[in-house]
Amino acid sequence: MDTLSQHVTGFAAAMEQVRRCSQDIDQIAETTNILALNATIEAMRAGDAGRTFAVVASEVKGLANDTRRATEEIGRTIDTLGGEAERVIAQIESGAEASREAKNSVIQIEQTINGVAELVEEVDRQNDQIARSTGTISGHVTRVQQVLESFDTAALHNESQLETAHHRMNDLELTASEMFDKIVKAGLSPKDSEMVDRAQLVAKEITERAQAALADGNLTTDALFDQDYRDVPGSNPPLYRTDLTQWADNNWRPVLDRVTAQGAPVRMCSQSDMNGFLPTHVSAHSRQPNGNLAHDTQFCRNGRILFDPLDQKAKRNTEPYMMAVYRQEGDGEKYLVVRNVYVPLIIGGRRWGDFELAYSFDD
């Protein structure tokens, strides 16, 4: 486009030069025409002597006119060519400008491509770094997994050992309770025998209250032996209610509060049915749950179901009482070792459960 523009520009200059030459020729033709006119006038003055000269002057005049017409035609043609040349030059200049813009765009594209290439190289370097870091992390993760697997194995082993220890503790507790039961029943521990007598007296009162309520219709047999344990929503540890709950709160709880208020060596007393359900408890341990696990474990015991191996053994006992030594649950973390008397509760000729009196001779 630049070269073509230069050629057309040169062509336009040459056309301009031709136009000037045509003008010079036209000026010469004009002068020649004037001279021919003068010669014709002089030939007419000369008469016959100037006739031949007049013919020559007339031809010269005609030639001048023809030359003039030719220069006019050349002028018009040059003007036409000049206009065409100007339009071509304008188009060429426009194309040249577009070419320069395209060239600049190409330069920008080239710069952009170079920038992209540099970015791709940087990404490639980053990917390489990421790959190396990923390899390192993978190695660390593998080692962490190995450590976690080791911890998991150790935790399972510890859990198994704790489970074994728990079973052994239960077995030891059952064995100790069995030995203690035989000692007391053999009459070798008078102080414990006294606590048995107290427990049997309270159990008798508990039974008599239920018998009287059955007799006067204030309590039904179905309510007394109701085992439809309905859970208390949101309680933790879980609490349950039955048709016996309200009557037990009103009639058995006052007895429990009175016996517990006597103080040492009595620690606690309660009664549970054949499934370990506590329909009521002493007032101090019959509070409303507040969502705190330690609080609710220690102070919200009315409605709990406690049925560990020792309780299960007591429910199978058919003798007048059974002695035991066990860890009394406190807040779920701390326990108190107490002695316990289980006295069967026979109500309406049917075994309802047991009355329990927990005590300790330790200060």
Each residue's pLDDT expressed in tens, for the chain with a length of 363 residues: 566 666 666 666 766 776 777 677 777 777 877 876 777 777 778 777 777 767 776 777 777 777 777 777 777 777 776 677 677 667 767 776 776 776 776 577 677 666 655 765 775 677 677 667 767 766 766 776 776 677 667 667 767 776 676 567 667 778 989 999 999 999 999 999 999 999 999 999 999 999 999 999 999 999 999 999 999 999 999 999 999 999 999 999 999 999 999 999 999 999 999 999 999 999 999 999 999 999 999 999 999 999 999 999 999 999 999 999 988 766 556 677 899 999 999 999 999 999 999 999 986
Q: What is the pLDDT of residue 145?
A: 76
Q: How far apart are CA 303 and CA 280, in angstroms?
A: 6
Q: How far apart are CA 359 and CA 340, in angstroms?
A: 6
Q: DSSP letters along 239-259, please?
A: -EE-TTHHHHHHHTHHHHHHH
Are 141 and 149 a contacting pair, CB within 8 Å? no
117 phi, psi to nearest 5 deg: -60, -45
Tokens of 97: 């400008």
Residues ≥6 apart with Cβ < 8 Å to 291? 234, 236
Q: What is the pLDDT of residue 129?
A: 75
Q: How far apart are CA 45 and CA 233, in angstroms?
A: 151
Q: What are the CB-based long-range contacts (under 8 Å, 24+) for 347-353?
A: 347/207, 347/210, 347/211, 347/214, 347/224, 348/210, 348/211, 348/214, 348/221, 348/224, 350/225, 351/274, 352/210, 352/224, 352/225, 352/273, 352/274, 353/271, 353/272, 353/273, 353/274, 353/277, 353/315
Q: DSSP letters along 315-349, please?
A: HH--SS-EEEEEEEESSSS-EEEEEEEEEEEEETT
Residue 345 CB coordination number (10 Å) = 20
Identical fold for domains 2-118 and 180-359, yes or no, is no
Domains of the chain, residue spans = 2-118, 180-359
pTM of the shown model = 0.57
Residue 317 CB coordination number (10 Å) = 15
Nearest to 23 by CA among 11, 31, 34: 31
Q: Which CATH class is domain 2-118?
A: mainly alpha
Which amino acid does the sequence have at 82? G
Q: How far apart are CA 60 and CA 29, in angstroms?
A: 10
* Secondary structure tally for the chain: helices H, strands E: 8, 6
Q: How far apart are CA 270 and CA 248, in angstroms?
A: 11
CATH architecture of residue range(s) 180-359: 2-Layer Sandwich (3.30)
Specify the 3-state DSSP secondary structure of 51.
helix
Tokens of 133: 């870091």
Are 303 and 241 a contacting pair, CB within 8 Å? yes
Q: What is the pLDDT of residue 1?
A: 58
Q: How far apart are CA 225 and CA 244, in angstroms?
A: 8
Q: What is the pLDDT of residue 203?
A: 98
Q: What is the pLDDT of residue 23?
A: 74
